[in-house]
Amino acid sequence: MLHTFIKYLASNSKRYSAHTIKAYSSDLEQFQNYLSTTYHIEEPAQASHQLIRSWLVSLLEAGDTPRTINRKIAALKKFYKFLLSRELISTDPMLKVTAPVAAKHLPGFIKETDMAILLNEVNFGEGFTAARNKLIIETLYLTGIRVSELTAINLNDIDLNRKLIKINGKGNKQRMAPVVERLTASLQNYLPLRDKALQNTDAAQTALFITNKGTAAYPRMVYRIVHDHLSLVSTNHRKSPHMLRHSFATALMNHGAELNAVKDLLGHASLAATQVYTHTTIDKIKSIYKHAHPRA
């Protein structure tokens, strides 16, 4: 049944990304192997909630984090709901399985002063590659979009007259990202250089960000560009595109943006995902209080 379930996920690609499908497949195969080797049960449909709990306990004892285990629980929940909907089981064993509480880790971010140094003082160079690399970093930092959303931007998604970029987010949900003056100027500088670079290739490319060969930019390339440039101004061990997304949200919250507005800009489905940034703001408030209040 695992194979049928994975095929079902793949057929619903608008709801489940390739990354999610791969992760769920790996998790469920691991669970199946556990049942087979530990209890000689070959079919996960036969597993009780006690056996599921025993697997989760074994994962905790092996050192898996609550976050990893919660993802595996999510895979199991989807799987058993699938079996229940097709009347292959009569009761859902996951109803009696409780997820471990994951420790909340505050997202890392790059200081505004460090980003100012990178964007205002670091020399990116001249020409197409330099303009593209700087625009990639500016777009991530000034809009807070995900790297997958960045690489999906096409030329017709940009409306410089209205100062907006259409973003194709998770689950094919679309939202609009505002284009500030700095980003407008960088786009106007980059677009002619992009057109000229394409003239030297055989590509007919609609993607905003392209490689030197005229193909669409891809996540690993963006990661490399961001990592290399953030290394010039930050000692943070994590220097990823997602770090710029966290930096964007943190800067907004520290300057008094409403939580709902930040949620919409980030493309979060609910406030729960956005509320982590309030911790950073509270820390800043505490720091200001400590240094400013005479009795602190």
In CATH, what number is assigned to the domain containing residue 40? 1.10.150.130
The confidence score (pLDDT) of residue 188 equals 97
Kindly state whether residue 60 falls inside one of the protein's structural domains.
Answer: yes
Residue 279: closest CA among 110, 112, 104: 104
Kindly state whether residue 102 falls inside one of the protein's structural domains.
Answer: no
Query: What is the CATH classification number for the domain harbouring 173?
Result: 1.10.443.10
Residue-wise pLDDT for 76-132, tens only, equals 999 999 999 999 999 999 999 987 655 555 567 899 999 999 999 999 999 999 999
Residue-wise pLDDT for 149-180, tens only, equals 999 999 999 999 999 999 998 878 899 999 99
Question: What percent of the chain stands above pLDDT 90?
Answer: 64
Of 72, 96, 120, which residue sits at a domain end? 96
Same domain, 69 and 134: no
The confidence score (pLDDT) of residue 52 equals 94
Same domain, 159 and 217: yes
Kindly state whether residue 123 falls inside one of the protein's structural domains.
Answer: yes
Domain that holds residue 246: 112-291
Same domain, 138 and 275: yes
Same domain, 281 and 158: yes
d(CA 157, CA 164): 8
The confidence score (pLDDT) of residue 283 equals 65
Same domain, 7 and 50: yes
Same domain, 216 and 125: yes
Of 65, 96, 127, which residue sits at a domain end? 96
The confidence score (pLDDT) of residue 105 equals 58
Kindly state whether residue 141 falls inside one of the protein's structural domains.
Answer: yes
**Given 146, 194, 229, 239, the catalytic residue:** 146
Kindly state whether residue 246 falls inside one of the protein's structural domains.
Answer: yes
Same domain, 26 and 79: yes
**Given 170, 173, 196, 286, the catalytic residue:** 170
Kindly state whether residue 104 falls inside one of the protein's structural domains.
Answer: no
Same domain, 58 and 201: no
Can you give the pTM of this predicted structure? 0.64
Can 146 be counted among the known catalytic residues? yes
Q: Report which DSSP code applies to 208.
A: S
Tokens describing residue 8: 């079902």
Same domain, 72 and 145: no
Of 62, 96, 130, which residue sits at a domain end? 96
**Given 134, 245, 246, 263, the catalytic residue:** 245
**Does residue 296 carry a pLDDT above 90?**
no
**Residue 33 CA: distances (Å) to CA of 6, 20, 37, 77, 296:** 16, 20, 6, 18, 57
Average pLDDT of every residue of the chain: 88
Same domain, 72 and 126: no
Looking at beta carbons, which pairs linking 267-270 to residues 24 or more positions away fall under 8 Å? 267/145, 267/146, 267/149, 267/167, 267/169, 267/170, 267/173, 267/175, 269/170
Can 34 be counted among the known catalytic residues? no
Can 170 be counted among the known catalytic residues? yes
Same domain, 213 and 187: yes
Domain count, the chain: 2
**Does residue 64 carry a pLDDT above 90?**
no
Can 15 be counted among the known catalytic residues? no
Can 227 be counted among the known catalytic residues? no
Q: Report which DSSP code applies to 101.
A: P
| Residue 42: other Cβ atoms inside 10 A | 10
Kindly state whether residue 73 falls inside one of the protein's structural domains.
Answer: yes
**Given 49, 81, 238, 268, the catalytic residue:** 268
Kindly state whether residue 198 falls inside one of the protein's structural domains.
Answer: yes
Residue-wise pLDDT for 219-275, tens only, equals 999 999 999 999 999 887 778 999 999 999 999 988 888 889 999 999 988 887 787
Can 7 be counted among the known catalytic residues? no
Same domain, 128 and 259: yes
